[in-house]
Amino acid sequence: MQRTATWIVYALLAFLAVVVEAAKSDPKQPPKRLKIETTYTPPSCNRKARKSKTGDRLKVNYSGVYWKDPDLIIDSNFKSDKQYEFNVGLGQVIRGWDRGLTKMCVGEKRVLTIPGDQTNQGEPLIYSVELMSIDTLPASKSSSK
């Protein structure tokens, strides 16, 4: 009898864990936390490679969409010849970028699914970002992505 009760408790806990995990990843629900997906890692990105860290000056190419309407590009510099520059981790860009673009190698590509509380719009956003360069020089002016 006790074994049966223990088995039922474990089965219920396992079921609950599956339900909770499914609720976290429900594609119909807006994201509640930052999701960082690396879509390309260059061969040169190994343990000894230079990676972005707080304070570094980054140059990136990016494209952004609203989470609700991923077919409508709201912001992008891919068609421009100019890369977007900022210092990461210092509040010059939205919090989702500050958190999602650290520990990247030059040439790496990521998709950031950013909850509304980490954007300026209060709406969840999705950004595709490619890191073009890392420099340790300070920014000359602030930006607000």
CATH number at residue 123: 3.10.50.40
Element (H, E) at 14: helix 2-24
User: Domain of 59?
Assistant: 27-136
Confidence class of residue 28 from pLDDT cuts 50, 70 and 90? Answer: confident
Interatomic CA distance for residues 143 and 145, integer angstroms: 6
* 30-56 pLDDT, tens digit each: 999 999 999 999 999 999 999 999 999
* 76-114 pLDDT, tens digit each: 999 888 999 999 999 999 999 999 999 999 999 999 999
Amino acid letter for position 30: P
Residue pair 51/104 in contact by the 8 Å Cβ criterion: yes
pLDDT over threshold 80, residue 70: yes
Element (H, E) at 99: helix 95-100
Interatomic CA distance for residues 131 and 86, integer angstroms: 12
Structural domains in the chain (count): 1
The reply to whether 63 falls in a domain is yes
